[in-house]
Amino acid sequence: MANIGYITMTMALVLAFYAAFVSVMGAQRRISELVVSSRNAAFAVTALITSAVFILEYLLITGDYQTEYVYEVSNRAAPLFYRVTALWGGQSGSLLFWSWLLSLMTALAIAKKWNSMRLMMPYMIAVTQITVAFFLWLVVFNANPFAQLAFVPPDGAGLNPLLRHFGMAIHPPMLYMGFVSFVVPYAFAMAALITHQTSDVWTRTTRRWTLTAWLFLSMGLLLGMWWAYDVLGWGGYWGWDPVENASLIPWLVATPFLHSVIMQENRGMLKRWNMALIILTFCLVVEGTFLTRSGVLSSVHSFSQSPIGPLFLGFIFIMFVSSLYLFVSRWNELDSDNELDGLVSRESLFLLNNLIFLSLAIVVWWGTHYPLFSEALVGKKIIVGPPFFEQTTAPLWGVIILMMGVVPVVTWRRTSLKRMGQTLLLPAIVLVITMAVLTFVVGLKIWGAVVGFGLCAFALTTILLEYGRGVSVRHRKGESYPVALWTLIGLNRRRYGGYLIHLGTILVAIGIIGSRFYQVETQHNLAVGESMTIRSDFSGTYTLTYNGLREGNSPDDRIITEAVVNVTHNGQAVGELIPTREYFVVQEQPMTIPAKRSTLLDDLYVILAGWEGQGETATFKAFINPLINWLWIGSFVFIIGTLVAAWPTAQDSRERVSAPLGVVVK
């Protein structure tokens, strides 16, 4: 079976090269049969990689431990779910998985856009198939998931226990889907340059792809945060780890791209900028994969040092230089159709939005790569810690929240300052009142946090007022409030979906400000019957009483130790928490499972850090994370908002039909 898997991957590699080559030849020589053949080859590549993935899944599920990859990431005791998800639990499997998702997405894009984007299609096929071929090259020659051991081990080594979590099982697929989907808008952008179709056709055609890719990337980031919070047991969710940053950086470039394409579509501006951003996003996506797969930066996620690093760098270099060449050679065609009319306008806010996001991307990129530069220059790996990232990015995030508050009242071309002042008066009053209440009534002393909460209140008010205005206009025309809200959103999904995303982002910001600035932490060693207390400005005092330890074995070779802790909040009993330690016998690795009491105001987060004897005494680490659940609630709103914005409209269908038919292929 393993040999068949390997042969299938090799055939897919050959066909991907073939598809890339004949698509360009067909377009250049105007031989439609060749372009059709390249399309069919691209579909066949997808079918072959799908077969390879199914074969690897079969080997994982049936426990074929002579296959080295299966031995490394799976074992007999692993439940079926984790045997299946072990496909992306190690390096070579995850590279095959990456290639598979990439080929699926490109096949889908080719099938969907075949009729409407005929002129660009051959070049789009070429770019996507070159990318597929690169990843297949890695799995065929450098990280073969079907490689065989010289002997048959009785059992596998098993999946890293830290990866046995639902969040971690679905976080990589989401992230990879986000990464691979960005290849589609990039490929269309390159095809637009090659075919001199530099108007907004490529941005309009790929808008929903880009939004979907962005949604997957966002969900990947959010699921990663949830996993870190739920599993790693350090009380936080974002450690500015290089692997986390590797996914955040493309997100920080893709987000301004989503906004600046709106400028290109509405005003014919920022054409060069959009090209530059999508090229950068693609290169950063591949670089992100390089950082995580090559082991070049050590972190909990990086698998191991491997020889694939130079290949990745070579691929990024080739793609970057050829994109740059095309970009520069079409420079004049990418001229703006319009100039900036007024300084106070939506256009200038979009420009500022772009500059701030890009500054964030540069700061995070620099901090993430600093250990590499320092090692190359002075021979020492100097790690840049969270304080660098937090201090440099916090003010920029503050400006972004402020702008999200201002943008609903700013119109295209120019806005009257007087009207803007009148509309923003109420939100400004809310801002001042929020800051005053937090300072003088609640007693918060960290001014950065107070300003942050004030800005969030300001932006929330403008967005809610924007919704309120739209709904009341429709209500006055006779619609009930729910119907008015529904039709308002339905008639302008991009706008109101966008504002819903902003609303979700602000709720996420509230969760981050509360939990980052006001987290409290304590650690105590308790004998059975003893208590410890922990207090926060937000929610008062929790008392934890240790009631003993219980131990048991699970069928999948885990020794489970649970501590029973009774909790009171401000003197009222609120229940029992069970912080747990699991010991994975095969991997000889312990894992901490925190216990949580969650409310809208805070999380009480308790970890069993250790114990003596049969549990006569035990050590507990407790955290209060104020407002953290707004982060998860905001994430949910954010996802709904993106679905609203990305949902197809009647206009999307019309645009599909009216896209230019350069007609090379049948």
Report whether 405 contacts 427 (CB < 8 A).
yes
For residue 589, give the H/E element and its range. strand 589-593
Rank residues 42 and 646 by Cβ distance to ligand HEM and give the closer one.
Answer: 646
Residues 615, 546: Cα–Cα separation, whole Å:
10
Residue 327 token pair: 């970009």
Residues 121, 615: Cα–Cα separation, whole Å:
67
Segment contacting ligand HEM by CB under 6 A, of 64-72, 179-187, 491-499, 607-615 = 491-499
Rank residues 144 and 642 by Cβ distance to ligand HEM and give the closer one.
Answer: 642
Beta bridge partners of 559: 553, 583
For position 48 contacting ligand HEM by CB under 6 A, the verdict is no
Which of 495, 524, 535, 597 touches ligand HEM (CB under 6 A)? Answer: 495
Q: Is 92 helix (H, G, I), strand (E, B) or coil?
A: helix
Which of 213, 253, 565, 645 touches ligand HEM (CB under 6 A)? Answer: 645
Least distance CB 347 / ligand HEM (angstroms): 10
For position 465 contacting ligand HEM by CB under 6 A, the verdict is no
Rank residues 454 and 497 by Cβ distance to ligand HEM and give the closer one.
Answer: 497
Q: Which of 178, 20, 48 is nearest to 110 (CA)?
A: 20
For position 255 contacting ligand HEM by CB under 6 A, the verdict is yes
What's at 663, amino acid-wise? Answer: V
For position 505 contacting ligand HEM by CB under 6 A, the verdict is yes
Segment contacting ligand HEM by CB under 6 A, of 9-17, 163-171, 489-497, 594-602 = 489-497
Rank residues 26 and 408 by Cβ distance to ligand HEM and give the closer one.
Answer: 408
Which of 276, 431, 501, 591 touches ligand HEM (CB under 6 A)? Answer: 501
* Burial of 223 per CB tally in 10 Å (0-12, 13-18, 19+): buried
For position 260 contacting ligand HEM by CB under 6 A, the verdict is no
For position 211 contacting ligand HEM by CB under 6 A, the verdict is yes
Rank residues 60 and 215 by Cβ distance to ligand HEM and give the closer one.
Answer: 215
Residue with tokens 């060449």: 325
Rank residues 207 and 301 by Cβ distance to ligand HEM and give the closer one.
Answer: 207
Rank residues 400 and 451 by Cβ distance to ligand HEM and give the closer one.
Answer: 400
Helix-strand-coil split of the chain, %, nearest 5: 65, 15, 25
Rank residues 511 and 594 by Cβ distance to ligand HEM and give the closer one.
Answer: 511
Count residues near ligand HEM (CB under 6 A): 22
Q: Which of 462, 246, 272 is nearest to 372 (CA)?
A: 246
Which of 7, 108, 157, 262 touches ligand HEM (CB under 6 A)? Answer: 262
Binding marks (x or -) toward ligand HEM, 605..644, rule CB under 6 A? -------------------------------------x--
Cα separation values, 140 from 3, 180, 358, Å: 12, 19, 36
Distance of CA 436 to the CA centre of its chain: 36
Segment contacting ligand HEM by CB under 6 A, of 31-39, 235-243, 366-374, 494-502 = 494-502
Report whether 279 contacts 189 (CB < 8 A).
yes
Residue 27 token pair: 């377009």
Which of 156, 498, 511, 579 touches ligand HEM (CB under 6 A)? Answer: 498
Helices vs. strands in the chain: H and E counts, helices first: 20, 10
Beta bridge partners of 576: 566
Q: Which of 522, 529, 548 is nearest to 606 (CA)?
A: 522
Q: Which of 12, 164, 18, 149 is nearest to 79 (CA)?
A: 164
For position 403 contacting ligand HEM by CB under 6 A, the verdict is yes
Task: Report the site for ligand HEM in 519-578 (rule: CB under 6 A).
Answer: none
Least distance CB 271 / ligand HEM (angstroms): 17
Rank residues 159 and 175 by Cβ distance to ligand HEM and give the closer one.
Answer: 175
Helices (H), 65-197: 68-73, 80-85, 91-113, 121-137, 166-181, 183-194
Rank residues 5 and 498 by Cβ distance to ligand HEM and give the closer one.
Answer: 498
Helices (H), 444-480: 447-476
By beta-carbon distance, which residue lies closest to ligand HEM? 498
Least distance CB 286 / ligand HEM (angstroms): 23
Task: Report the site for ligand HEM in 322-351 (rule: CB under 6 A).
Answer: 349-350
For residue 203, give the H/E element and its range. helix 201-231
* Burial of 196 per CB tally in 10 Å (0-12, 13-18, 19+): exposed
Report whether 362 contacts 430 (CB < 8 A).
no
Segment contacting ligand HEM by CB under 6 A, of 106-114, 224-232, 500-508, 614-622 = 500-508
For position 371 contacting ligand HEM by CB under 6 A, the verdict is no
Rank residues 495 and 597 by Cβ distance to ligand HEM and give the closer one.
Answer: 495
For position 502 contacting ligand HEM by CB under 6 A, the verdict is yes
Which of 207, 267, 293, 474 touches ligand HEM (CB under 6 A)? Answer: 207
Site residues (CB under 6 A) for ligand HEM?
A: 207, 211, 255, 258-259, 262, 349-350, 353, 400, 403-404, 407, 494-495, 497-498, 501-502, 505, 642, 645
